[in-house]
Amino acid sequence: MEYMGDCNVGDFFKWSVLTGSIFAVLLMMVSFDSPRENNSLEASANMHLINDTEIPILMYHHFTEIESETSSTTVTVERFEEHMSALKDAGYNTITDDQLYRFLHFDEALPEKPIMITMDDGYESNYIHAYPILKELGMNATIYLVVNDQEKTPGTIPHLTWEQTKEMYKAGVMDIQSHTFDSHYYIESETDEGPALITIGKNEDKEVYLERIRKDLTQSKKIIESQLQKEVVTITYPYGATNEDVINIAKETGYKLGITVQIGTNNSESSPFKLKRLNVINQYDGGTLLNKIEGLE
């Protein structure tokens, strides 16, 4: 063996073992630190994506096969199909109210280019016309029911039956949420009239008004949950009208989201009870609708 100066073989062996042990410890430290560093970078990247996510919510009501019946709240079946096909071809992915809730409250990631399709009031045309189109395209939407109008024709347009509603929900195509129990009308106040949800009636005081709203939101939620065996998380305000009293009652009665008709898109900084939408009209072809959505972002 080559001469090692003052170090004998035993000392050299001890020195080698010690050096190797130190090296092994350092290697383990690097190995343990790397995943944490990678996870941190990955979490940062995911948070960046969450913060950058914009979520348009489209608003529809009723569908018809007759062009002359279209209005600001009525779209032809042909046009609706064109809209949905345009969204799908452009890479949009439809999401549910539950997904939006988890995104806003828990930062859960959404699919790329998320979008919500919503339908107010609960018209039977949602079942007859919109449901088959969405099912064929592999998309979903949410219907917001005026619960007291179920199984009825309060005006000239019939509303959904519970049997139709259950079929769409169980198929995973239509989510079902609340548009109040029976507050989709205008009410007289002492000086004027306004949406029932935000107006103290001329024969009411503040306490009676608040109890009326609390009873309505509670009843709507309980009936839908009983009929469909699901949690109701969203209240969509009739006419888009809300105030702090309504929002506080919605929170107290178990709602997690509130949707208006204010024009705009939504992101991680949006108020969960003041979400924005875009009303879709029959004059928009597929390309126009995509441009309108992009203009919101």
Residue-level pLDDT at 297: 75
What CA–CA distance (Å, rounded) separates 93 from 243?
A: 31
The residue that leads in pLDDT, 262 or 31, is 262
Tens digit of each residue's pLDDT (9 = 90 or more) over 136-190? 999 999 999 999 999 999 999 999 999 999 999 999 999 999 999 999 999 999 9
* Residue 10, pLDDT above cutoff 50: no
Within 13 Å and on the Cβ side, how many CA atoms surround 176? 34
Tell me the two tokens of residue 247: 């929002």
**Residue position matching structure tokens 């989709």:** 184
The neighbour count for residue 251, using CB atoms within 10 Å, is: 14
Residue-level pLDDT at 51: 59
**93 — pLDDT class (breaks 50, 70, 90):** very high
Residue-level pLDDT at 37: 41
What CA–CA distance (Å, rounded) separates 279 from 117?
A: 10
Weakest mean pLDDT among 45-54, 81-90, 107-116, 231-240: 45-54
Tell me the two tokens of residue 166: 């259950």
Residue-level pLDDT at 49: 53
Q: Tell me, what DSSP letter sits at residue 128?
A: I
* Residue 61, pLDDT above cutoff 60: yes
Q: Are 149 and 126 in contact (CB under 8 A)?
A: no
* Residue 12, pLDDT above cutoff 90: no
What CA–CA distance (Å, rounded) separates 164 from 241?
A: 28
Tens digit of each residue's pLDDT (9 = 90 or more) over 104-121? 999 999 999 999 999 999
Residue-level pLDDT at 50: 56
* Residue 133, pLDDT above cutoff 70: yes
What CA–CA distance (Å, rounded) separates 121 from 9?
A: 90
3-class DSSP state of 197:
coil
What CA–CA distance (Å, rounded) separates 262 from 278?
A: 8
Residue-level pLDDT at 1: 37
Residue-level pLDDT at 6: 42
* Residue 200, pLDDT above cutoff 70: yes
**40 — pLDDT class (breaks 50, 70, 90):** very low
* Residue 207, pLDDT above cutoff 80: yes
CA 120 to chain centre: 14
Residue-level pLDDT at 66: 97
Q: For residue 91, which amino acid is it?
A: G
